[in-house]
Chain A
Amino acid sequence: MRKPCETLRLYQKMTDFRALLELLKTNGIEFIVIGGAAATAHGSARLTRDLDVVYRRTPKNIQRLADALAIHKPYLRGAPPRLPFQWNSQTIERGLNFTLETDLGNLDLFGEVTGGGNYEQLLPHSESRRIYDVVCRCLKLRRLIEVKRAAGRPRDLEAVAELEALLEESRRATPKKD
């Protein structure tokens, strides 16, 4: 029998997609869901362990992002502990893409993505999706495939194949709307 603390530790690695999306949305952050989470929204059956978002790089949005995440102890994922990493608007302004681990799980923030560009460039290729009770922008399936193709990572080949199969299947099926 597992002790409660062990159970808690067991689930710590999980990403709470709902909480992360709610956090971003309630703080008025402008973002577009991309990557595995967007693939899930389109019907992918693959397992993803982080939430990938492209955020708008305006001073206001950066400030909101810094404030919203600050209480959830963001830290660079995979980095050695006790690095002098400070999460604030200056850090976001100086950097571009951040792979973070937070209290709510893994969150990847992208200022720009290969083959897709920044928030403004991706916005016309996104659509509103209701995930839980959060209505957020999600990259369209076609664009998601193009971005994944452009990234050219060998590990994405299977994911791209699945997304293309999904595109073919979704043309045949009529998906249930939220």
Chain B
Amino acid sequence: MEAVDECAKLRGGARLQIGMKRVKKKRWNERTRRIRNTRTLPTDPVIEAYKKDIDRTLLRQSLKLSVTERFEELMELQRFAEALRNAPTVPEND
């Protein structure tokens, strides 16, 4: 009976070890992924100067949309731009 208990303990220990390994691996993957994502691009003073004038509210708005919605918006914008380009001048007395 004791031998059976010992075996069960060993099996449990092995399972625990495997579980710990998995957790460690998962944590490691998570860490490397985070480092990869935060790795910064080399800064360029010209681009940094341009970046100051970027309207981030538009970007935040766009990030809330799905990819398809972004494309639909782009097509709508294209239509609008074309309509503006082709907009005829209306005489003042009209």
| Residues in chain A within 8 A of chain B (CB atoms) | 10-11, 13-18, 37, 40-41, 43-45, 47-49, 129-132, 142, 145-146, 149, 157-158, 160-162, 164-167, 169-171, 173, 175-178
Contact = CB atoms under 8 A, between A and B. Distances in A.
Given A17-B74, A131-B68, A132-B68, A165 B79 contact: no
A17 B77 CA distance: 13
B67 A161 contact: no
Contact of A178 (B54, B66, B78): B66
Given A165-B51, A169-B59, A41 B70 contact: yes
Contacts, number: 100
A43 B51 contact: no
Given A40-B74, A43-B62, A10 B82 contact: yes
B71 A132 contact: yes
Contacts of B70: 40-41, 43
Contact of A166 (B48, B50, B59, B74): B59
A45 B81 CA distance: 14
Given A162-B54, A178-B66, A14 B75 contact: yes
Q: Is the interface of A mostly helix, strand, loop or mixed?
A: helix
Contacts of B81: 47
B67 A41 contact: yes
B26 interface: no
Given A14-B82, A40-B74, A49-B78, A178 B51 contact: no
Interface in B1-56: 37-38, 41, 44, 46-48, 50-51, 53-56
Contact of B47 (A17, A45, A161, A175): A161
Interface string B80-94: 011100100000000
